[in-house]
Amino acid sequence: MTAPAPISPVPVAPTGLTRRAKSFVELEGIRVPQPDIEDHRGAWIEQGVPAAEIDRAVAFEARWGGLALPPAPFYESGPRVLGADLPEGSTAEGWWIPAGDCRVSMAYGFMIGPGGEFGIHGYRWAPLHASTEGWVESLALVSHARRWAKTITRITGEAVDSLDLEGYEPVPEVQGVADTWWRGKDSLIALYRGEAVAMDAPGGLEAHIYGGLDEWGLRGG
The pLDDT value given to residue 5: 54
Give the residue ranges of DSSP H helices in the chain: 19-28, 41-46, 51-64, 132-148, 194-198, 215-219
Whether the CB-CB separation of 31 and 7 falls below 8 Å is answered with: yes
d(CA 87, CA 103): 20
User: Which tens digits make up the pLDDT trace of 44-89?
Assistant: 999 999 999 999 999 999 999 999 999 999 999 999 999 999 999 9
Residue 166 has pLDDT above 50, yes or no: yes
Once rounded to an integer, what is the mean pLDDT over residues 89-100?
Answer: 95
Residue 6 binned pLDDT confidence (cut-offs 50, 70, 90): low
pLDDT class for 10, splitting at 50, 70, 90?
confident
| CA atoms lying within 13 Å on the CB side of residue 203 | 0
| Average of per-residue pLDDT across 149-158 | 96
3-state secondary structure of 27: helix
pLDDT at 2 over 80: no
8 A C-beta contact, residue 129 and residue 118: yes
Query: What is the structure's pLDDT at 9?
Result: 87
Average pLDDT over residues 137-150: 97
SS3 24: helix
Asked whether residue 3 carries a pLDDT value surpassing 80, the answer given is no
Helix (H, G, I), strand (E, B) or coil at 23: helix
* Distant-in-sequence contacts of 151-155, Cβ < 8 A, 24+ apart: 151/209, 151/210, 151/211, 151/212, 152/208, 152/209, 152/210, 152/211, 153/208, 153/209, 153/211, 154/206, 154/207, 154/208, 154/209, 155/206, 155/207, 155/208, 155/209
* Burial group, residue 214, by CB count within 10 angstroms (0-12, 13-18, 19+): exposed
Distant-in-sequence, close-in-space partners of 24: CB < 8 Å, separation ≥ 6: 69, 136, 139, 140, 143, 144
Is the pLDDT assigned to residue 204 strictly greater than 50?
A: yes
pLDDT, position 173: 97
Higher pLDDT, 131 or 9: 131
Average pLDDT over residues 181-199: 97
Average pLDDT value for residue range 167-178:
98
Indicate the range of 2-11, 57-66, 180-189 predicted with least confidence: 2-11
> According to the model, what pLDDT value does residue 96 have?
98
Amino acid type, 7: I
- What's the CA gap between 46 and 38, in Å, rounded? 14
Contact 182, 165 (CB under 8 A): yes
Beta strand pairing call for 30-31 and 94-102: unpaired
**Entry pTM:** 0.94
Q: What rounded mean pLDDT belongs to the chain?
A: 94
Position 221 pLDDT exceeds 70: no
> What integer is the mean pLDDT of 122-132?
96
